[in-house]
């Protein structure tokens, strides 16, 4: 069985979730001795990006991935006769492959991390119509569509006519090396993690914290610097973006991670759980599917229910140490050895 993972691998230590999934899947499949090749493109912003490389470039990276221009990519796919082409994250250069799909004797699998129209609402994307076309072609041409949560699957079903027998849900995995650290929940001030790439949910969180708890909460904001936030009496520490090693160290003394905004999964939340950080997530996040409310984390519905939950937490209504230990067990289910095994099962089902 010959597998081609095609998508964006990314440069540097800090990359978005879809690229992290691509990296971990490639690594894990290699560890299982699967005949797998990772192919990416000469993306703008890459250190070796040129117009000529986009068309004719060919490079093997030290990590074992291939970076190919359009013509070498087409030659590679025709020559190697892969059994499976797996689009691991949505990219515009997929169009050339999708338009030539009828000439390839291969099955196509695609992992979809988000609905394109939702992404447009968050950030301005140039030539967004191309991304929309890629999404439509992926849905039309894929033998199997994979989603990181049932929440996202339902979103796609509402927006496209997708046969459910072509769909699978495989949660994103947790990387190796996250260490469970026993937390001290008896402290007067507890440490909360907040992350949102677009900075639209921190205000919502601050308005949900009861007045009497303000001095007992310390918020560590990851991601972009939220310059427009009115901090008032809150202690907010802006940490920026962290790589794997820095994140592991950072999580050691944190107590909770809060997700206030929609997200199809949330790798950061899963990794934080592996380190014993208790998740508090909106019912509009995909990772709620692996959380049992009050057992390994908390799920809330709105600002009012979040405020009530925080009061209960600070009134010692829960055994937080036990919940923290239960949260850390998520690694047993979401380690990449298990997750890549689920992908392998999907591959084999098409042969």
Q: What's the DSSP call for residue 295? A: T
Sequence-ordered list of residues with C-beta below 8 angstroms from that of 291, at least 6 positions apart, any chain: 279, 281, 297, 298, 299
Taking the model in full, what pTM does it have? 0.93
Domains 2-173+335-349 and 190-333 share a fold: yes
From the candidate CATH numbers 3.40.140.10, 3.30.1330.10, 3.40.50.2000, 2.40.10.10, the one assigned to the domain spanning 2-173+335-349: 3.40.50.2000
- pLDDT tens column, 72-116: 999 999 999 999 999 999 999 999 999 998 788 899 999 999 997
Q: Percentage of residues in the chain with pLDDT exceeding 70?
A: 93
Closest CA to 269 of 284, 288, 253: 288
Q: Give the chain's mean pLDDT.
A: 91
Full DSSP string of 113-157: -S-HHHHHHHS--TTHHHHHHHHHHHHHH-SEEEES-HHHHHHHH
- pLDDT > 50? residue 120: no
Structural fold of domain 190-333: Rossmann fold (3.40.50)
Closest CA to 8 of 83, 74, 72, 66: 66
CA distance 226 to 220: 11
Instruction: Provide the pLDDT confidence category of residue 203 given band limits of 50, 70 and 90.
Output: confident
Q: Which tokens is 35 given?
A: 């005949």
What are the residue ranges spanned by the domains of the chain? 2-173+335-349, 190-333
């Amino acid at each position: 069985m010959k597998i081609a993972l095609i998508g964006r691998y990314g440069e540097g230590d800090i990359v978005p979730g879809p690229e992290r999934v691509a990296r971990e899947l490639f690594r894990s499949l290699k560890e299982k001795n699967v005949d797998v090749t990772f192919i990416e493109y000469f993306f703008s912003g890459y250190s070796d990006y040129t117009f000529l490389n986009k068309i004719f470039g060919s490079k093997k990276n030290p990590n074992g991935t291939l970076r190919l221009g359009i013509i070498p990519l087409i030659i590679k796919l025709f020559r190697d006769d892969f059994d499976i082409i797996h689009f691991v994250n949505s990219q515009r250069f997929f169009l050339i492959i999708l338009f030539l799909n009828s000439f390839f004797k291969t099955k196509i699998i695609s992992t979809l991390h988000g609905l394109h129209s939702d992404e447009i609402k968050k950030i301005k994307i140039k030539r967004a119509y191309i991304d929309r076309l890629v999404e439509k072609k992926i849905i039309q041409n894929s033998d199997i569509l994979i989603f990181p949560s049932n929440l996202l699957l339902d979103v796609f079903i509402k927006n496209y006519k997708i046969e459910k027998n072509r769909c699978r849900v495989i949660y994103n995995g947790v990387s190796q090396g996250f260490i469970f650290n026993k937390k001290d929940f008896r402290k007067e001030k507890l440490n909360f993690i907040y992350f949102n790439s677009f900075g639209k949910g921190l205000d919502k969180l601050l308005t949900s914290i009861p007045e009497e708890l303000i001095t007992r909460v310390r918020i560590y904001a990851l991601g972009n610097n939220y310059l427009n936030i009115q901090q008032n009496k809150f202690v907010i520490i802006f940490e920026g973006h962290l790589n794997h090693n820095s994140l592991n160290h950072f999580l050691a003394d944190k107590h909770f991670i809060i997700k206030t905004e929609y997200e199809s999964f949330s790798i950061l939340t899963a990794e934080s759980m592996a380190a014993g950080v208790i998740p508090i997530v909106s019912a509009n996040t995909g990772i709620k599917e692996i959380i049992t409310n009050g057992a390994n984390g908390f799920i809330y519905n709105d600002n009012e229910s979040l405020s009530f939950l925080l009061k209960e937490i600070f009134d010692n209504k829960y055994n937080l140490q036990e919940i923290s230990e239960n949260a850390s067990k998520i690694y047993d289910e979401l380690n990449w050895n298990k997750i890549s095994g689920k992908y392998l099962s999907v591959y084999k089902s098409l042969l």
